[in-house]
Chains A and B, each alone.
Chain A
């Protein structure tokens, strides 16, 4: 299948590991991602609190560009995914708003008919491509690796989407089928605080400390993430959390597409493992040396 790829601002540089691994995993599975030409920032959750028509028009520009390509959007970033999906929902449910947004888009010679579907890579990998097809290309087993699957908020909420909102299972299923052991991780959909790390740092540090503690108590070797903001909070702030809470976390954080890339035998560099702040740990390092073939 061919998709319109919407990387989003975080994936361009600061979260290049996510971008690289999504592209490589899709390629390895025979899927084509065509980056939307000249896409703009979706406005993230911040813009929604400023002006509504403006925020909808800003994100709808991307939907219109993808519609012109005749392709569904793949948006790996949870914030982009939820904002683009929400824009779709509002425009479909409130015709007056759709009209207003199209009037604004017309200023740039664009119009949006409401047909672009917004998809998350996890949904496509598990529901379209399917685990069997993935396993056929598998080069490594995750045997012995203890994984905490962290879904975060915005890919499973607010609407009923491609997975359960309280207890999503797609990551669990993906990596247990790949031989890994999924640890008990009741905080799988608990919020990391997102942008609160900038505006209410103390509160966000506490939320992330609790997530890390939960994974560690259940003896996880790694937390896998689906969102650049969750990833950055958990990874980039571990030192600070250790200092403030006198903890000794050294928890590796990987994007789920990076771990899947390891299963598919993709090279470490190509899936951006060299961009991690925290060393991958002994289990993953020894995994990287094994091979089926």
Chain B
């Protein structure tokens, strides 16, 4: 595999240091997120995943790569985007690792660092979903799916005609979006939340040649929370 290789033994690349820092910040916000340290590499997650057969790196490998300082490989993977969030891995992990939430954190990290994804359609869907929600306060499935195919594969919309007809016949299409009254208030909540999110953004990494191992990042700054 074409992993990035550092020139000094154990030297973390600048990119790796930055990505890792953002990811670790995300993990801190997951209840029991620090359990990522307890991975046994048993592969129960991969065996439980209904879509692992379609992934380029398995869920177990995700954690192995994270440990090996290969965030870049994870960021560019198809894996993080194909997770359907069924939580089978999380339920079965003998170490109690919140793998689904870890994958959400990886998605957020990849979006924040603008990684070219192997599955750009997922980001397109996510961004259209967010737009839809902000505009109406509720999701209008018709506009979402319509715009999604216009952006990704307009021809596919034709294939949806039979299904669309059935939905019309059974009165299951909302022609107009259902808008909430408090759209402005919701926008204010979202804007404020974004501002708060920015406030907590990690300080930029001051990278130096002695960034060997994870020391440069002050190790894994993850401590057990109360109740752990």
At the interface, yes or no: B20 with Cβ under 8 Å from chain A?
no
Q: Is the CB of B126 within 8 A of A13?
A: no
- A278, closest chain B residue (CB): B166
Contacts of B196 in A (CB 8 A): 53, 100, 103-104
Contacts of B194 in A (CB 8 A): 51, 53-54
At the interface, yes or no: A194 with Cβ under 8 Å from chain B?
yes
* Docked complex Cα distance between A28 and B87 (Å): 34
At the interface, yes or no: B185 with Cβ under 8 Å from chain A?
yes
Question: Most chain-B Cβ atoms within 10 A of its Cβ — which of A16, A51, A154?
Answer: A51
Q: Is the CB of A104 within 8 A of B192?
A: yes
Contacts of B158 in A (CB 8 A): none
At the interface, yes or no: A275 with Cβ under 8 Å from chain B?
yes
Contacts of A276 in B (CB 8 A): 170
Contacts of B150 in A (CB 8 A): none
Q: Is the CB of B137 within 8 A of A190?
A: no
Q: Is the CB of B29 within 8 A of A52?
A: yes
Contacts of B90 in A (CB 8 A): 157-158
Contacts of A203 in B (CB 8 A): 51, 54, 82
Contacts of B174 in A (CB 8 A): 12-14
* Docked complex Cα distance between A51 and B26 (Å): 10
State how many angstroms separate the Cβ of B223 from the closest Cβ of chain A.
13
Q: Out of A16, A100, A207, name the residue touching B172 (CB < 8 Å).
A: A16
Contacts of A239 in B (CB 8 A): 162-163
Q: Is the CB of A157 within 8 A of B91?
A: yes
**Among residues 38 to 87 in chain A, which have CB atoms less than 8 Å away from a CB atom of chain B?**
38-41, 43-54, 56-58, 61
Known: A93-B225, A104-B196, A158-B100. A153 touches B137 (CB 8 A): no
- A277, closest chain B residue (CB): B166
What does the 1/0 interface line of B172-216 toward A look like (CB < 8 Å)? 111000101110011011111110110010000000000000000
Q: Is the CB of A13 within 8 A of B85?
A: no
The interface stretch among B37-45, B66-74, B138-146 is B138-146
Chain B contacts to A: CB under 8 angstroms: 26, 29, 31, 50-51, 54, 81-82, 84-88, 90-91, 98, 100, 104, 107-108, 111, 119, 121-122, 125-127, 129-130, 133, 137-141, 145, 148, 162-163, 166-167, 170-174, 178, 180-182, 185-186, 188-194, 196-197, 200, 225, 227
Chain A contacts to B: CB under 8 angstroms: 9-10, 12-16, 38-41, 43-54, 56-58, 61, 89-90, 93-94, 97, 100-101, 103-110, 153-154, 157-158, 165-166, 189-191, 193-196, 198-200, 203-204, 207, 236, 239, 274-277
In the complex, 13 of the A-B residue pairs with CB atoms within 8 angstroms, ordered by the A residue number, are: A10-B141, A12-B138, A14-B174, A41-B137, A46-B125, A47-B133, A53-B193, A53-B194, A100-B196, A108-B186, A203-B51, A275-B170, A275-B172
